[in-house]
Structure 1
C-alpha cells in the first residue's frame, strides 16, 4: 500500500511538469497536436512493454468493454487538457482538470456501483464548485498570456478533461479488478486510445516537424509525464480505489501551479488563490469522507 502511494506521488510530480514544459512548445504547434503526440507516443510505448498481456486483455469479453470505455477517456483527456491550459493558463487548466477528477470519480462510483453520496461529499463538491467559480473570476488578472475572455472556455475544457481522467481511471480499475495486471491494463487502454490519437496527430502535427526544440519537448512529455508516470500510475491503481487515486494525484496541480508561477510567470490575484485553496479543501473533504456501501 505504501509503495503504491509513493508510486502515485512520483507520477503526480512528473505530471506536474507537463504544463510548464508544454508552454515552451512553439506557438505554431496547436495544443491539439501537443496532446495527441504526447498521448499517442506514450500510449504506443505502454503497449510495447505489455503487448502480449494487453492483447490478451482486449480479447477477454468481460474486460474489452471497460477497456474501450477507458480508451474514450484516453482520447478525450489530452485534447481537452492541453487546450484548457492554452486557453486558461497552466495553473488554472491543471487545477480545474485534476481538481474535478475526484468529483467525477465519485459520481461514477455512485452511478455504476451504486455507492451513496454522503452529506460530507455534497459539502465538498459544493465547495469545489464555488472554488472553480472564484478561480475563473480571479484568473482575469493573472493568467499570463491567456486571453481573459477565453478563460471560461478553458475552464469548461478543464472540466471535460477531469471527467475523461476519472473515466479512464475508473475503467482501468475495473479491468484490474478482473485480474488483469496493471501493466497489461495500461498498455491496452492507452494502446487503444493511441490509434485515434495518431490520426489526430497526422492531421494536426505538421508544424512539429519544423521545430526540433518542440520535438524534444514532446519527447520528454511522452517518455516522462506520459510513459513513466503511467507505469507508476498503473502500479498504484492495483491496490487503491479510483476515487482515492484521483485524490492522491491532486499533488499534480499543486506542483503545476508552483511551476507556472515561478517559471512560466503566471500569477493569480487574491480571488484566484482563494478559489484554488477552496478546490484543494473540497478535494480533501471528499477524500476523507466515509464512503457507504452500495445502495439498495
Structure 2
C-alpha cells in the first residue's frame, strides 16, 4: 500500500465495539503478501514470449474488479480534479511499466532474484532521489540500506556468470523505480480518494496502456483452460483481493506493522518458486533473502533521532507493501508502505 488515511473499511460501532479487529487485520495483510508473492511463480508457467500479455490481462482483470468494488461500495466514487488526473497519469504509466518489466525479469533471472531486487531496490532509489533533490538521508536509512544491498548481492551472486540473469536484474531494478513512482503517486492521491479508488484508477489507466499488447498475445495466454484460470487468479487474487486486504488491514494494525507483515512477499515468492517452478534457491540465496528482509525491516522502523523537518517527510522506504496500502505509502517500499 501505510498512509495514515481514513480507513477504507470500518466496522460499524454496533458490530465492532466488542471485537478487536487487529488479529484479522494482521492475517489480511499477511495473506496479501503471500498473494503478491505468488505472482512470479505463476508467471513462470507461461511461455516467455507471452509474459507481457500476461501482465496486461492481469491489469485488465484486476482493474475491472477494483472498479466494481468502488462502484458498489458505500462510499462510491469521489470527484477527481484536473490536478489529481495530472498526478494519476504518470502513476498509471508507472504501474504499466512495472508490469512490463517485472514479469520478463522473473523469466530471465528467476523468481527469487527478481522479487528481492524489485522490492529491495525501491527504497534505495527513493532515497537516492531524495538525496539528489537536496533531502537529508539519516544514518538509520544508510544502515538499513547497506544491509539490504549486501543481501541483494548475495541473492544475485549465484547467477552472476549468466548474461540473461543480469538483464533480468536490470529489468527488476527498473521495475523497482516504476514501483517507487507508483508508491509516490498513491501517497499523494489516497488521502483524498482512498486507497482502493486510487489503485482502481491507476490500474485502469495502466490496463489501457498495455491493452494492445494483451490483445496481440491473447491467443497465447488463453490457449488452454489452465492458462485462463491463471490469468483470473493473477487479476482477481494477486491484484484486487490482495490490495483490498491490505487496505483493510493497515488502519487497524498501523503502517509499521503492515510493512513488516508484507515482507512475507519475497519469502512466499521464493518458497512458491521452489514448489511450482522447481527454482530451488541456493544456501547463499536464502541467506541473501534473509539479509535483505532484515535491512528492509530496519528501514520500516522509524528512526529514533529524527529532526522535526525529517519527521515531516517521514523516513519511509517504499516497498511494495508501502505503496500497496496507501497503496502503501511512502516513497520507499518498506516504509511507513504500491505490482503489477
Pairwise TM-score range, normalised by the shorter structure: 0.7 to 0.9
**Does 2:190 align with 1:176?**
yes
Task: Tell me the residue number matched to 2:266.
Answer: 253
Tell me if the contact between 1:208 and 1:214 (Cα under 8 Å) persists in the aligned partners.
yes
Tell me if the contact between 1:139 and 1:272 (Cα under 8 Å) persists in the aligned partners.
no
Give how far 1:218 is off: 0.9
**Does 2:49 align with 1:35?**
no
Partners of 1:61 and 1:242 in 2: CA distance:
29
**Does 2:211 align with 1:198?**
yes
**Higher helix proportion (structure 1 or 2):** 1
Cα 1:89–1:189 shift into 2, 3 Å: same
Tell me if the contact between 2:42 and 2:276 (Cα under 8 Å) persists in the aligned partners.
no
Q: Report the TM-score, using the length of structure 1 for normalisation.
A: 0.83
Partners of 1:245 and 1:192 in 2: CA distance:
27
Task: Tell me the residue number matched to 1:7.
Answer: 28
Partners of 1:99 and 1:244 in 2: CA distance:
18
Task: Tell me the residue number matched to 2:5.
Answer: none
> What are the equivalent positions in structure 2 for 1:103-114 lying under 5 Å apart?
103-106=124-127
Partners of 1:240 and 1:149 in 2: CA distance:
43
Tell me if the contact between 2:111 and 2:269 (Cα under 8 Å) persists in the aligned partners.
yes
Q: Identify which of 87, 105, 108 aligns with 1:87.
A: 108
Partners of 1:240 and 1:167 in 2: CA distance:
25
> What are the equivalent positions in structure 2 for 1:1-296 lying under 5 Å apart?
2=22, 5-25=26-46, 27=47, 29-51=49-71, 56-57=78-79, 59-106=80-127, 116-139=136-159, 148-177=162-191, 179-236=192-249, 248-290=261-303, 292=306, 293-294=308-309
84-93 vs 148-157, greater mean Cα deviation = 148-157
Give how far 1:6 is off: 4.2
Cα 1:269–1:6 shift into 2, 3 Å: closer
Partners of 2:296 and 2:67 in 1: CA distance:
32
Unmatched segments (≥5 aa) in structure 2 = 1-20, 313-340
CA RMSD in angstroms comes to: 3.1
Tell me if the contact between 1:118 and 1:289 (Cα under 8 Å) persists in the aligned partners.
no
Tell me if the contact between 2:267 and 2:289 (Cα under 8 Å) persists in the aligned partners.
no
Q: Report the TM-score, using the length of structure 2 for normalisation.
A: 0.73
Q: Per-residue displacement from partner, 1:194-252 (whole Å, max 9, x unpaired)?
A: 11121221233331232332111111111111111122234456689989866542211
Unmatched segments (≥5 aa) in structure 1 = 142-147
Q: Per-residue displacement from partner, 1:181-205 (whole Å, max 9, x unpaired)?
A: 2222121111121111212212333
Tell me if the contact between 2:196 and 2:243 (Cα under 8 Å) persists in the aligned partners.
no
99-108 vs 11-20, greater mean Cα deviation = 99-108
